[in-house]
Amino acid sequence: MAKILIAGAGYLGLALADRLSHDAAGTHQIFLARRSARPSPGLKTIACDFTDSASLKDLPVVDAIYYAVAADDSTDLAYEKAYLVAVRNLVEHYQKRGINPRFYLSSSTSVYAAKQGEIVTEDSVGLAQSGPSRFIVAGEKFLRASGLEGAVLRYGGIYGPTRTSFVRRIQEGQEPLKPNAQQYSNRIHRDDAVGIVAFLMGREDPGMAVINAVDLRPELRDDVIRWVLAELGISVEDCPVDHSTELRRGHKRVVSDKLQKMGYPFLFPSFREGYGPLLSQMRDERPT
């Protein structure tokens, strides 16, 4: 029986706990570590603060860790605590005990410095040197130098159940088309985000892999908007258009070729399969 610690009880952490509980048919013992002692059904919960090494004393001996703690806000301090200090504390806590669990880190494609639509692979050398994302880079670097095996998962934009703000803004006319400022987006459905972790935990790959955890291909933002409008039965003529050439933010084309070659079976290969059930629910919510 594998013992697995899920560090962080947020959107991904709880989803992975549910996935492993159902997939493993009782073959895993799952522990949930979070700041709150609030229990989660079927899971042993340990209250601790990963930024305080002294509070980690009650963590159990485990075979694997999935770290999915998010920053409290977008400040440098919050990112440093969540993605560097806490990761370092957790790794050092176990290694001081002579325990070397496989470690799976929830990271982000924001670590890539590319901003002009460049194609980005795991081997791209341009990483963030400024802004809060530099602390994610630092946490990755520390983990990769720790000697632990596992994976760094660089997630694209995560969407799924309860995360419908983008499609709702489209529905409400708050996401204009920008034909003169084309922008690529990279995303991953929540169920694939945790499915990738479960998939990697079932492999015996040596070392600390770096994985772009995004779906099959980047998509142009305007293409996504047009598809959502069509699925909702809204004429594209009713969508606002911004003719400016200014991009709202930098963008990149993150590719998941490595993950695809490993044989991961995507549940939602693109936004079309992923947003489909969400849009169906939204259509059902419409007043008649």
Q: Which residues of the chain have pLDDT under 50?
A: none
As a whole number of angstroms, the distance between CA 175 and CA 8 comes to 32
Question: Which range of residues forms the domain containing residue 39?
Answer: 2-160+187-217+253-268
> Which 8-state DSSP code applies to residue 60?
P
User: Could you tell me if 224 and 271 are in contact, meaning their C-beta atoms sit under 8 angstroms apart?
Assistant: yes
User: Could you tell me if 111 and 128 are in contact, meaning their C-beta atoms sit under 8 angstroms apart?
Assistant: yes
pLDDT of residue 40: 78
Which residues neighbour 212 within 8 Å (Cβ) at sequence distance 6 or greater? 109, 120, 121, 122, 154, 156, 254, 255, 256, 258, 259
Q: Phi and psi (nearest 5°) for 43?
A: -125, 145
As a whole number of angstroms, the distance between CA 7 and CA 121 comes to 27
What are the structure tokens assigned to 47, written together? 């209250």
DSSP string, 155-188: E-EEEBTTB-HHHHHHHTT-S-B-TTS--EE-EE
pLDDT of residue 26: 63
pLDDT of residue 278: 87
As a whole number of angstroms, the distance between CA 239 and CA 176 comes to 6
Position 278 in a domain:
no
Which residues neighbour 60 within 8 Å (Cβ) at sequence distance 6 or greater? 3, 5, 31, 44, 46
CATH code of residue 145: 3.40.50.720
As a whole number of angstroms, the distance between CA 236 and CA 145 comes to 50
Position 61 in a domain:
yes
pLDDT of residue 114: 95
> Closest Cα to residue 69, out of 56, 60, 78, 77?
78
Position 153 in a domain:
yes
Domain count across the chain? 1
pLDDT of residue 288: 54
As a whole number of angstroms, the distance between CA 174 and CA 284 comes to 21
pLDDT of residue 286: 64
Position 113 in a domain:
yes
Position 176 in a domain:
no
pLDDT of residue 287: 58
